[in-house]
Amino acid sequence: MPANVGGTTGNKCPSLFVGTGLFFGGFMEEKPKIISELEETRDKALASLSQVNDEEALQNWRRDYLGKASQVMLTFASLGQQPKDMRALLGQTANQVKQALEVALEEHTQRVKQTALLHKVQSEQVDVTLPGRAPVQGGLHPQTQVMRRIFAIFAEMGFQVYRTPDVESDLYNFELLNIPAYHPARDMWDTFHVEGEGVVLRTHTSPGQIHAMRQNAPKPVRVILPGMCYRYEQISARSEIQFNQVEVIAVGKNITFGDMKGTLNGFVRRLFNADVRTRLRPSYFPFTEPSAEMDVECFVCAGKGCSVCKSSGWLEILGCGMIHPAVLENGGYDPRVFSGFAAGMGPERISMLLHKIEDIRYFWGNDVRFLGQF
């Protein structure tokens, strides 16, 4: 088709896109400026769309080319003011441009979304082969551990665990253990008194002897009695006002001092090691006769003498003795027929020896730096 330069043929040509000109509104003239501008903007928009690669840029693009103030939309808005014979063509063109832009936007939006998703999936990839971080684990208190070892060793030797109350009467804590009110031995146990006549916090686990015997007499009894004891004392590196004890008692016929020695040696060797040396020293407790204390060879200096054993080479670990006839009787046994032994130890002292801990106050100080070591 030849160039239509100011043609006057009156020939209406439906084609809008003849590059150089067109028939328009009955006149042969240059393509109206407003239409070529729309097309230029369309081409520019489509070209710039390919550079858009995120959500925000998409929004901006939409605003620029399809928003209220965009050229296309303004064209629609201005149709009423355009010459009548141009309106149809202009409207059609604007529609086509708008449609082309919308289709392109839709396609490109999908592409951007896909790319973003792919990116997200790749960047958030979980490496399942990465070793996990172990959660911080709590542990058993060193005293719980030692108590359990003591229970296990005595269990092996046929002793059951038997629990008795922390709050006792003066009767059980003292009187029935052969410690009457006037007895000077009361001085061995500085006592916390609880409200109420003759109610005390037990100063030792020995009152459990009476409970255990009374519940079993006249059958033989072989139990250990673990638990907290309380003493109204000056707190120091060696003594606390609250501490554990484990009482050991065996009552039956023909139980001898030799049985006691054998049992306690067996216990100590299982707890520390098979060739630890022990000795029994004569001692005094109102509820045992004869009474003794058991020492183990000092671990720190192996008996040579050091500051821990105060140069003696020995460390005291428990008190013991043959149950006093008066106490057996209070427990419901005929002392002419029955005999028995008893021992009492402090598990904190034992832990201190096992772990070379130099201050008893660490046990109930609740410092995780200490507790975490066991």
Q: Is residue 206 close enough to count as binding ligand PHE by CB under 6 A?
A: yes
Q: How far apart are CA 60 and CA 79, in angstroms?
A: 25
Strand partners, 222: 250
Give the nearer residue to ligand PHE in terms of CB position, either 71 or 244.
Answer: 244
Give the nearer residue to ligand PHE in terms of CB position, either 24 or 162.
Answer: 162
Q: Is residue 320 close enough to count as binding ligand PHE by CB under 6 A?
A: yes
Footprint on residues 246-275 left by ligand PHE (CB under 6 A):
247
Footprint on residues 229-248 left by ligand PHE (CB under 6 A):
247
Give the nearer residue to ligand PHE in terms of CB position, either 29 or 166.
Answer: 166
Q: Is residue 294 close enough to count as binding ligand PHE by CB under 6 A?
A: no
Which amino acid would we find at residue 152? A
Q: How far apart are CA 131 and CA 137, in angstroms?
A: 17
Give the nearer residue to ligand PHE in terms of CB position, either 142 or 344.
Answer: 344
Q: How far apart are CA 35 and CA 41, in angstroms?
A: 10
Q: Is residue 344 close enough to count as binding ligand PHE by CB under 6 A?
A: yes
Q: Is residue 319 close enough to count as binding ligand PHE by CB under 6 A?
A: yes
Q: Is residue 340 close enough to count as binding ligand PHE by CB under 6 A?
A: no
Q: How far apart are CA 218 and CA 159, in angstroms?
A: 17
Which residue's beta carbon is nearest to the bound ligand PHE?
344
Q: In this structure, are residues 344 and 245 in contact, taking their beta carbons and an 8 Å threshold? A: yes
Q: Is residue 204 close enough to count as binding ligand PHE by CB under 6 A?
A: yes
The DSSP code sequence of 61-104 is: HHHHHHSTTSHHHHHHHHGGGS-HHHHHHHHHHHHHHHHHHHHH
Give the nearer residue to ligand PHE in terms of CB position, either 288 or 330.
Answer: 288
Question: Residue 155 belongs to what H/E stretch?
Answer: helix 142-156
Q: How far apart are CA 111 and CA 126, in angstroms?
A: 25
Count residues contacting ligand PHE (CB under 6 A)? 11
**Residues at the interface with ligand PHE (CB under 6 A):** 204, 206, 247, 285, 288, 319-321, 342-344
